[in-house]
Amino acid sequence: MLLPRQTRLALFLLSNLFFIPIAFSLVEEQEQFTEELLLKPLPDRKVLSHFHFQSRAPPTASYGHHHRLFPKAIYHLVHKYRIREMELSFTQGRWNYERWGGFDPISSNNAKPPGVELWAVFDVPEHLVDAYWKNLTHTLSGLFCASINFLESSTTYAAPEWGFRPFTGSLRYGSLPREAVCTENLTPWLKLLPCRDKAGLSALLERPSIYKGFYHSQQLHLTSAEFKSAELDSGIILEQTLTVVLQPGTKRTGLAYFQPSWSISSIFGKQITGKCVLAKSSSVFLQIESDAVSELKNLWKENGMSVKSNEMSKNLWSNPYFELSIAPDRVREASSFNSDSSSIFYEFFIQKYSRSESFDLGLTWKSPFVWSCPKAPLHATRFLMGSGNERGSVAITLRTTELNWRLMDADISEETCKLRVDIFQMVPWYVKVYYHTLLVFVDEKPQALIDVVERMHVSPSEDKVSPGLMELALKLPCRLNSAALTIEFSKGFLHIDEYPPDANQGFDIPSAVISFPSFKTRLHFPNDDSVSYLPLLSKLQASTFVCMQERSPVLSYTEVLLVPLTTPDFSMPYNVITITCTVFALYFGSLLNVLRRRVGEEERILKKKAANKKTNRISILLSKFFAKLRGRPWEPPESPVSSLSSPKLLLKVIVVAAVAAGWQYYSSK
Ligand SMILES: *[C@@H]1O[C@H](CO)[C@@H](O)[C@H](O)[C@H]1NC(C)=O
């Protein structure tokens, strides 16, 4: 037992001796788990909470297969399906790009389309990718109690070439816009954490408080460097994030334009009682957006206070506009690429707190204060045009936002300045898109495609086999107000078995992805090396890994479209069946009634009645007659007039028999 471990240690030390100077001083030969929470007040009186849990497993080659912290299910998943990168998100609600921002890393990475979205990159030969994808969807749907296995069918997923992520061939993308997300998806997600939801920051995740939010997105991002084609030797990194937009309890603060004051216990109904003991670091951040910071500085100046930026950020946690209930342990400033001023991150170390002394950060606003979030360069919306159940068209419009154009990468003053916009859209096969009808308008004037389309990749849908895919790179003039593109489609017919149970609701077309490759969302922490030990901040900064830098363009999702298709009248067969059944029931019911009526029973009733009433002779005669007919001795009558003997009832029986006979006669004709 002892020897292998020692040799392993020796090997590890040796390898470290050689490798540390080269590149990866960051990559530690240990499993590691960190938990972080970012809180950010939003301009529309809401609060963004972003939980970030990261587990890291060292490379199998040097560490082996046994893990203490890293979830075994995920380790097996990576190895069985040879996953290089994977992202699975469960989302409820729609991210409000106009109010909650569209330029920062959180909105680009964590604002997701409603329902389930899954994409994965496999490290297998291209002809095997589909088989691996199918098995992966089944495993994930078992793991997360969701119908991810619907993504198995080739009509629901696509293989983007370059419009979504730059992995040609081995990338698959699928989305289920109608999947409902609930606690049964969250519980397996929490089970992957070493402390589950019993301790640490995840203990805040009380189901009622997080599901009553305006937006809720639970994500799992997996990066692995276990296979040969990886450039870095960093093992497997599992990032679990949960992004929730909540409205703090509406305590009346007097004026409507006051931001609501809140605290962790008022948002989540709980306080933080220390960190998860297995976590290497545990921190809470409160971010004040750059726009709010510059607003504060202006107000500061007006009030005649000194604005030394350094001093200001130190004292900013208690100022005439807002106040934090706990002094931050550390204050960091981060500059972004689209703004002059920097946003401020207040950091709180959670290891100081315990059950007896719990952490309950509060933010109290003291004066009315207004700011706005940084928005994406263009705001995208998508809608349907046309009427009727045969044809229609999809339109995507892009409107400029008040972005600070000066700070764009490209040179804006020139005539030749171009803004690149990538559009990725996948449509199900029953929406048959005619790609030749693509029209592009810039400032409401139609454009020749050759002028505005830089690159285009289209794979048309095939009936009941594959969805249609469009990847489009537009180069638009920088000084535009709006751009629009329209594309026509006709609606296909489905087989009756292919309709979902609520077909009349319409069919969902998954969100299109709009990205702006010339804009980067990264924040930059100047002169701050310690950021690299905090996965959340280094992800916002995205400089830990070289490859990540290319992959953080500003990205937004459009709305899901609801297309009404021609649906058969599912109620008609039902109506026909019910009316036929009613008629048959009437017919056979009355026929059987007549045929199976027991005469003996009638007699007894007759006798009984006669005895009671001493009735008329006819009935006695009749009963005598019936008795004779059967060859039985006549008993003195006890029953009164039977139904048979009453002429009215007799008539009824005859009528029913006649109707039945007539029916039979006519129906047999
Ligand atoms: C996928 O699953 C099927 C059935 O379990 C199995 O036969 C097949 O080998 C698996 N394929 C891959 C690529 O794992």
Domain coordinates in residue numbering, the chain: 378-517, 571-668
CA–centroid distance, 136 to ligand 1, in Å, is 10
Which residue's CA is minimally distant from atom 10 of ligand 1?
A: 135
- Give the model confidence (pLDDT) of 251-310 as tens digits: 555 556 678 889 999 999 999 999 999 999 999 999 998 888 888 888 877 776 655 555
- Give the model confidence (pLDDT) of 380-413 as tens digits: 999 999 988 899 999 999 998 865 454 454 445 5
φ, ψ for residue 513, nearest 5 deg: -110, 125
Which residue's CA is minimally distant from atom 3 of ligand 1?
A: 135
CA–centroid distance, 135 to ligand 1, in Å, is 6
Atom of ligand 1 nearest to the CA of 134: 1
- Give the model's pLDDT for residue 115: 95
Question: What is each CA distance from 13 to 8, 65, 68, 428, 534, in whole angstroms?
Answer: 9, 19, 21, 54, 25
- Whether the pLDDT of residue 640 is over 70: the answer is no
CA–centroid distance, 131 to ligand 1, in Å, is 7
Q: Is 157 in the pocket of ligand 1 (CB under 6 A)?
A: no
- Give the model's pLDDT for residue 338: 60
Instruction: Please tell me which residue, 218 or 168, carries the higher pLDDT value.
Output: 218
* Range of weakest confidence among 72-81, 472-481, 524-533, 578-587: 524-533
* Range of weakest confidence among 93-97, 168-172, 318-322: 318-322
Atom of ligand 1 nearest to the CA of 124: 13
602-606, 615-619, 633-637: which is most confident: 602-606
Q: Is 577 in the pocket of ligand 1 (CB under 6 A)?
A: no
The residue to which tokens 């059950």 are assigned? 355
- Give the model's pLDDT for residue 407: 46
Q: Is 138 in the pocket of ligand 1 (CB under 6 A)?
A: no
Instruction: Please tell me which residue, 595 or 253, carries the higher pLDDT value.
Output: 595
Q: Is 131 in the pocket of ligand 1 (CB under 6 A)?
A: yes
CA–centroid distance, 174 to ligand 1, in Å, is 20
- Give the model's pLDDT for residue 171: 93
In angstroms, the CA 10 to CA 187 distance is 41
- Give the model's pLDDT for residue 572: 87
- Give the model's pLDDT for residue 77: 94
Which residue's CA is minimally distant from atom 14 of ligand 1?
A: 132
- Give the model confidence (pLDDT) of 132-180 as tens digits: 999 999 999 999 999 999 999 999 999 999 888 877 789 999 999 999 9
Q: Is 132 in the pocket of ligand 1 (CB under 6 A)?
A: yes
- Whether the pLDDT of residue 228 is over 80: the answer is no
Which residue's CA is minimally distant from atom 12 of ligand 1?
A: 132
Mean pLDDT of 605-625: 75
- H or E element at residue 398: strand 391-400
Whether residue 312 contacts residue 297, with contact meaning beta carbons closer than 8 Å, is answered with yes
CB atoms within 10 A of CB 341: 19
- Whether the pLDDT of residue 214 is over 80: the answer is yes
Mean pLDDT of 77-86: 93
CA–centroid distance, 427 to ligand 1, in Å, is 28
Mean pLDDT of 97-120: 92
CA–centroid distance, 79 to ligand 1, in Å, is 14
Q: Is 135 in the pocket of ligand 1 (CB under 6 A)?
A: yes
Mutual angle of helices 647-668 and 571-595, in 10-degree steps: 130
CA–centroid distance, 128 to ligand 1, in Å, is 11
pLDDT band at 653 (very low <50, low <70, confident <90, very high): confident
Instruction: Please tell me which residue, 304 or 350, carries the higher pLDDT value.
Output: 350
- Whether the pLDDT of residue 567 is over 50: the answer is yes
CA–centroid distance, 204 to ligand 1, in Å, is 39
In angstroms, the CA 299 to CA 304 distance is 9
* Range of weakest confidence among 321-325, 445-449, 578-582: 321-325
- Whether the pLDDT of residue 580 is over 60: the answer is yes
Query: Best of 77, 126, 135 to mutate for ligand 1, by most ligand atoms within 8 A of CB?
Result: 135
Percent with pLDDT over 70 in the chain: 84
Which residue's CA is minimally distant from atom 5 of ligand 1?
A: 135
Give the alpha-carbon dihedral of 610, 614, 616, 622, to 10 degrees.
30
CA–centroid distance, 129 to ligand 1, in Å, is 12
Which residue's CA is minimally distant from atom 2 of ligand 1?
A: 135
Which residue's CA is minimally distant from atom 4 of ligand 1?
A: 135
CA–centroid distance, 140 to ligand 1, in Å, is 14
CA–centroid distance, 469 to ligand 1, in Å, is 27
CATH number of 378-517: 2.60.40.1170
- Give the model's pLDDT for residue 447: 92
pTM: 0.80
Mean pLDDT of 23-48: 81
- Give the model's pLDDT for residue 615: 56
In angstroms, the CA 458 to CA 330 distance is 50
* Range of weakest confidence among 103-117, 325-339, 476-490: 325-339
Burial class (CB in 10 A: 0-12, 13-18, 19+), 486: middle
Mean pLDDT of the chain: 84
- Give the model's pLDDT for residue 370: 86
Which residue's CA is minimally distant from atom 7 of ligand 1?
A: 135
- Give the model's pLDDT for residue 294: 83
Phi-psi region of 547 (alpha: psi -120 to 50; beta: other; left: phi over 0): alpha
Question: What is each CA distance from 654 to 4, 591, 645, in whole angstroms?
Answer: 102, 11, 13
- Give the model's pLDDT for residue 20: 40
Q: Is 122 in the pocket of ligand 1 (CB under 6 A)?
A: no
CA–centroid distance, 122 to ligand 1, in Å, is 15
pLDDT band at 434 (very low <50, low <70, confident <90, very high): very high
- Whether the pLDDT of residue 555 is over 50: the answer is yes
